[in-house]
Amino acid sequence: MEIIMIVLAGILFGFAVYNILQKRLLRIIIGTALLSHAAHLFILTMGKLKRGASPVLTEGTENYTDPLPQALILTSIVISFGVTSLLLVLAYRTVKTNGTDNMEELRGNNHD
Amino acid sequence: MIIAILMPFLIALCIPFIAKFKYRIHTGYVAFAASLSIFLYFLTLLISGKTDILYHYSWIPSLGLDLTFYTDGLALFFALLISGIGALVAFYSIHYLDLEERLGSFYVYLLLFMGAMLGIVTSDNIYALYTFWELTSVSSFLLISFWFNRKASTDGALKSMLITFLGGFALLGGLALLHLVTGSASIREILTKGDLILGSDWFPLIVVLLLLAACTKSAQFPFHIWLPDAMEAPTPVSAYLHSATMVKAGLFLLLRFTPVFRESEAFFIAVSIIGLLTLFWGSYMAVRQTDLKGILAFSTVSQLGMIMAMIGYGTEAAIFAAIFHILNHATFKGSLFMAVGIIDHETGTRDIRRLGGLWKLMPITGIISVLAAFSMAGVPLPILNGFYSKEEFFASSWDLSADRAFGTGFASVLADIVPYAAVAGSIFTFVYSMYFYFRTFTGKSETTVAKKAHDPKFGMLLSPVLLVSGVILISIFPNWFSRHLLLPAANAVYGETMEAHSIHFWHGLVPALLMSLIVVISGILLYSTRSYWTGLYKLLPGRLSGNNVYSVILNASEKQTKKLNDHIVSGSLRQYNAIIISFISILTLLVLFGTNSFDLSNMDTSPVSLPQSLPELAVAVIMIAAAFGSTVSQKKLTAVIILGVVGYGLSILFVLFRAPDLALTQLSIETITVVLFLLCFRHLPEFKRERKEKLSKKITNIIIASLCGLMMMLVGLAAYSQRLFPAISDYFIENSYKLGGGDNIVNVILVDFRGLDTLFEITVLAIAALGIYSLIKLRQKGGDR
């Protein structure tokens, strides 16, 4: 199962990077969102999957799933939400100011 | 002791403040006083005979690095030369430089240089030596480009800097190797471990690197090309740096390590050949020059080559002669440069074709020049020190095969050829000296030039007059100088005590005298029939001269750098991203395969069985499809909604993998994110407007993306299969209730064990919120377009 998940995460990484390399700002933001999904899955997999009950202490349970990756991911989800929303507003601002969201048109030139 | 070495730096610090009053007192007087007092200090050291004063400071004791300054005979000799000529040059420059020039900068550079030179000759620590060495290159660069609005000045400065820094780099390498081989950074200790160095495998490389350093600094063939261009510097600088001191730093370096190197035949072969070649080439080129300073520059190159050759010989007589000639060269070349400065100052030109007949107009300058030039030529007169040292040069060349027992190899053949090469190289020296003097001071001059030329004020003449009287004094009392100044230095170089060396004008009919006579006679013949030989002087070099090579390399590297830079620094963020990502991916992949990090047998995976694992597999397939869909979708709405599918799929996976908190958070966040996307939507342009990307670019992006994905997969596999440390999760599971008082372990970790993390997470969110708020608010102030 872990191998499957690692492969899944790798595929998601691939799509994310492809999106990040695109011209449009919205595509790039979609790419970063995908990237954080992939990273979360990746971290979760590192802590071994399906090794016991949910990490909530209950009487009589010996094995729990590794709680540490989950805690890390929880932090990360919130942060990536912050990143995505900031990027979105940044894109919005860029479009308003420059009239384009095309990276090729937004690049500086040598005389800047 | 330390004060004397640091004094130039300290004074240089004060110069900018003093320079403000330059109209009341010329800034040069301060520099003059400083160098004179340093000179007097070293003179008292010389007279008292205390030659091993040490300043010791434990610099980095843990690395065994000490900052030590010491003066042995050699260091003292050079220190006297540096400070003595420095004082004269400073005095000369007072009258040479106009008050309107940037005097402050000039004297700062000059003192910086003087301090660095003193540092080179007195340092015991090799890294200190290296630092001072580079400092001389820097100050030389600044001084050459002193008139920085002239293109020739900056070009010459750049050339000298590039070449001498190349050598500096080699020096660092060579010194580091010496440190490695001997285990000591102290020159005195290194010199005691000669056998270790000679026997080491690194020895050839050490010699090559140190030679490279010495040859670039001392303008040896083929690195001599920077010296003629450095003549764009103000003349006092040329007199000081580029004839008397800095160019001798390379010689100093070799002399310093001669006690070790002189045993080696390879060292003899390399240094002698370079030296003789430079001697010949420099004097040959000097005859072709039309600029007075150009003649002197090439003559300096040639004289340095001669000294270099003597260092290569490594015999007692040769080393003594080398030291002797360093002194003599400083006196006659220094005064010649100053004389040229005077001529330039008075007539406004240095072009030898326009000059002539100055003898009548400037008799004192004429006397200075005739003595100095004839001394340089080695004219046999008892008042010309150049003759003495040239005689010693011939004698040591002649006796070389007798003094050093070479085998039957190449070295012994070379030792037999050396005397002839020495004579051949010296003939042109004679010719250019005559050319320099007679073309300038006799014959006719252009009327425009001759009109107002006359001997300058006393102040400007004083320094060259003193130097020329040095020429005569050394010739009259050679043995006094020999005993007090030259022998201690030569002893330090030779490593053993030499017998007292007496210098005579008349040795009897020895081979050296014959050699001198051959040089003089053929020189006179060549000079008087020179009109027939002009073709000979234009014969070499053709397209392959060192200068052409230099400019080809410089232009090509400039062009390539610009091309590379334009290519990489294109201003396109996408391209930067592509480069960064592919670089990371490829590097990581290489490392993974290079270290063979996969140990799949060791993997501890949970089993996949079809009916039970169906949900996970289904979700995985859906997520991949959704990710693909959002990537190719042409409508922004579709793309965002399908992106949502990936997020929800992930939360389902969280549920399946027993992570309830994650699932809850992911669900709510995903919802908010989609809403946010939709909010911003109205303002973002539709995808359709985007022009079609080139296919090749698309394929490149796909390749980069797949590489990155593959890299992450393999990293995951490698990381999963190797567990180097036990997991720390058990601690949290055990102590969640005990220490944190909560059942939900994830929550306890977040708010208790790693509470500070969460605090910062909240801070990040707050900052993001502030950023978003201000980005939106910006509209009201800046206005929309």
Read off the pLDDT of residues B285-320 as tens digits, 9 standing for 90 and up: 888 777 888 888 888 888 888 888 888 888 888 888
Mean pLDDT of chain B: 82
Cα–Cα dist B69/B79, whole Å: 12
Name which of B428, B442, B461, B233 is nearest B352 in CA terms.
Answer: B442
B719 and B738 co-located in one domain: no
B695 and B738 co-located in one domain: no
B309 and B443 co-located in one domain: yes
- Selecting from A38, A57, A77 the residue whose C-beta is nearest the C-beta of B743 gives A57
B715 and B735 co-located in one domain: no
Residue A112 pLDDT class (50, 70, 90 cuts): very low
What pLDDT does B506 receive? 67
The CA-based angle B151-B157-B161, given to 5 degrees, is 145
Residues B734-751, mean pLDDT to the nearest whole number? 85
> Are B52 and B103 spatial neighbours (Cβ–Cβ below 8 Å)?
no
User: Which of A101-110, B114-123, B472-481, B506-515: highest mean pLDDT?
Assistant: B114-123
CB atoms within 10 A of CB B134: 18
> What is the nearest CA distance from A35 to chain B, expressed in angstroms?
11
- Final residue of a domain: which of B680, B696, B724? B724
- Final residue of a domain: which of B704, B724, B744? B724
What pLDDT does B760 receive? 92
pLDDT tens sequence across B687-740: 655 556 678 888 888 899 999 999 999 888 888 887 778 878 888 888 888 888
B629 and B760 co-located in one domain: no
What pLDDT does B730 receive? 82
Residue A8 pLDDT class (50, 70, 90 cuts): very high
> What is the nearest CA distance from B147 to chain A, expressed in angstroms?
29
Residues B14-21, mean pLDDT to the nearest whole number? 78
> Is residue B24, in this structure, part of any structural domain at all?
no
Question: Residue B447 is part of which domain span?
Answer: 266-532
B576 and B516 co-located in one domain: no
B685 and B769 co-located in one domain: no
For the cut 50, the answer to whether the pLDDT of residue B430 exceeds it is yes
What pLDDT does A9 receive? 92
- Selecting from A2, A40, A74 the residue whose C-beta is nearest the C-beta of B661 gives A74
Domain count, chain B: 3
Q: Across the interface, do A89 and B746 touch by the CB < 8 Å criterion?
A: no
> What is the nearest CA distance from B151 to chain A, expressed in angstroms?
25
What pLDDT does B127 receive? 87
Residue B533 pLDDT class (50, 70, 90 cuts): low
pLDDT tens sequence across B107-144: 888 888 888 898 888 888 888 889 899 999 998 888 88
Cα–Cα dist B48/B620, whole Å: 91
Closest chain A residue to the Cα of B664, Cα to Cα: A74
Question: Ramachandran region of residue B67, left (φ > 0), alpha (ψ -120 to 50) or beta?
Answer: beta
For the cut 90, the answer to whether the pLDDT of residue A38 exceeds it is yes
> Is residue B488, in this structure, part of any structural domain at all?
yes
- Selecting from B606, B676, B704 the residue whose C-beta is nearest the C-beta of A88 gives B676
For the cut 60, the answer to whether the pLDDT of residue B17 exceeds it is yes
B726 cis-preceded (ω within 30 degrees of 0): no
What pLDDT does B446 receive? 61
What pLDDT does A109 receive? 56
Q: Across the interface, do A33 and B643 touch by the CB < 8 Å criterion?
A: yes
The CA-based angle B770-B771-B777, given to 5 degrees, is 90
Residues B653-657, mean pLDDT to the nearest whole number? 88
pLDDT tens sequence across B603-635: 777 777 777 788 888 989 999 999 888 888 878
> Is residue B56, in this structure, part of any structural domain at all?
no
Closest chain B residue to the Cα of A46, Cα to Cα: B720
> Is residue B117, in this structure, part of any structural domain at all?
no
Query: Could you state, in order of their start, the residue ranges of all structural domains in chain A?
Result: 2-51+64-99
Cα–Cα dist A67/B176, whole Å: 53
Give the DSSP letter string of B202-245: THHHHHHHHHHHHHHHTT-TTGGGHHHHGGGS-HHHHHIIIIIS
B409 and B453 co-located in one domain: yes
B665: chain A residues, CB-CB within 8 Å: 74, 77-78
> Is residue B446, in this structure, part of any structural domain at all?
yes
What pLDDT does A111 receive? 47
Residue B500 pLDDT class (50, 70, 90 cuts): low
Q: Across the interface, do A86 and B690 touch by the CB < 8 Å criterion?
A: no
B755 and B706 co-located in one domain: no
Closest chain B residue to the Cα of A19, Cα to Cα: B631
Residue B490 pLDDT class (50, 70, 90 cuts): confident
What pLDDT does B451 receive? 57
For the cut 70, the answer to whether the pLDDT of residue B540 exceeds it is no
Residue A14 pLDDT class (50, 70, 90 cuts): very high
Q: Return the minimum-mean-pLDDT range out of A66-75, B423-432, B605-614.
A: B605-614
Q: Across the interface, do A52 and B784 touch by the CB < 8 Å criterion?
A: no
Give the DSSP letter string of B247-301: HHHHHHHHHHHHHHHTT-HHHHHHHHHHHHHHHHHHHHHHHH--BHHHHHHHHHH
DSSP lists the bridge partners of residue A64 as A53
Q: Across the interface, do A20 and B577 touch by the CB < 8 Å criterion?
A: yes
B578: chain A residues, CB-CB within 8 Å: 21
> Is residue B172, in this structure, part of any structural domain at all?
no
B377 and B427 co-located in one domain: yes
The answer to whether A18 contacts chain B (CB < 8 Å) is yes
What is the phi/psi pair of residue B181, to 5°? -75, -45
DSSP lists the bridge partners of residue B123 as B69
For the cut 80, the answer to whether the pLDDT of residue B4 exceeds it is no
pLDDT tens sequence across B236-260: 888 888 877 888 888 898 888 888 8
Give percent of chain B above pLDDT 90.
Answer: 7
Cα–Cα dist B183/B195, whole Å: 13
Helix, strand, coil % in chain A, rounded to nearest 5? 70, 5, 25
Cα–Cα dist B314/B322, whole Å: 10
3-state secondary structure of B66: strand
> Is residue B240, in this structure, part of any structural domain at all?
no
For the cut 70, the answer to whether the pLDDT of residue B547 exceeds it is yes
A26: chain B residues, CB-CB within 8 Å: 636, 639-640, 684, 687
B691 and B748 co-located in one domain: no
Structure tokens at B260: 């070790």
A99: chain B residues, CB-CB within 8 Å: 785
What pLDDT does B785 receive? 44
Residue B784 pLDDT class (50, 70, 90 cuts): very low
The answer to whether A12 contacts chain B (CB < 8 Å) is yes
Residues A22-46, mean pLDDT to the nearest whole number? 89
> Are B413 and B273 spatial neighbours (Cβ–Cβ below 8 Å)?
no
B703 and B784 co-located in one domain: no
A71: chain B residues, CB-CB within 8 Å: 746, 749-750, 754
> Are B215 and B223 spatial neighbours (Cβ–Cβ below 8 Å)?
yes
ipTM confidence: 0.91
What pLDDT does B765 receive? 92
Helix, strand, coil % in chain B, rounded to nearest 5? 80, 0, 20
The pTM is what?
A: 0.71
> Is residue B114, in this structure, part of any structural domain at all?
no
Of residues B602 and B385, which shows the higher confidence score?
B385
CATH of the domain spanning A2-51+64-99, picked from 3.40.50, 3.30.230, 1.10.287, 1.20.950: 1.10.287
The answer to whether A32 contacts chain B (CB < 8 Å) is no
> What is the nearest CA distance from A109 to chain B, expressed in angstroms?
6
- Selecting from A18, A29, A66 the residue whose C-beta is nearest the C-beta of B702 gives A18
- Selecting from A65, A89, A106 the residue whose C-beta is nearest the C-beta of B775 gives A89
Q: Across the interface, do A4 and B608 touch by the CB < 8 Å criterion?
A: yes
Residue of B605, B628, B655 for testing the chain A interface, max A β-carbons within 10 Å: B605
The answer to whether A76 contacts chain B (CB < 8 Å) is no
- Selecting from A33, A73, A82 the residue whose C-beta is nearest the C-beta of B764 gives A82
Question: Ramachandran region of residue B651, left (φ > 0), alpha (ψ -120 to 50) or beta?
Answer: alpha
For the cut 80, the answer to whether the pLDDT of residue B50 exceeds it is no
Cα–Cα dist B210/B396, whole Å: 24
> What is the nearest CA distance from A103 to chain B, expressed in angstroms?
7
B222 cis-preceded (ω within 30 degrees of 0): yes
Q: Domain holding B632: CATH number?
A: 1.20.120
> What is the nearest CA distance from A4 to chain B, expressed in angstroms?
8
Residues B475-495, mean pLDDT to the nearest whole number? 79
> What is the nearest CA distance from B776 to chain A, expressed in angstroms?
7
A/B interface, count of CB pairs below 8 Å: 278
Helix H or strand E encompassing B766: helix B755-782
> What is the nearest CA distance from B680 to chain A, expressed in angstroms?
6
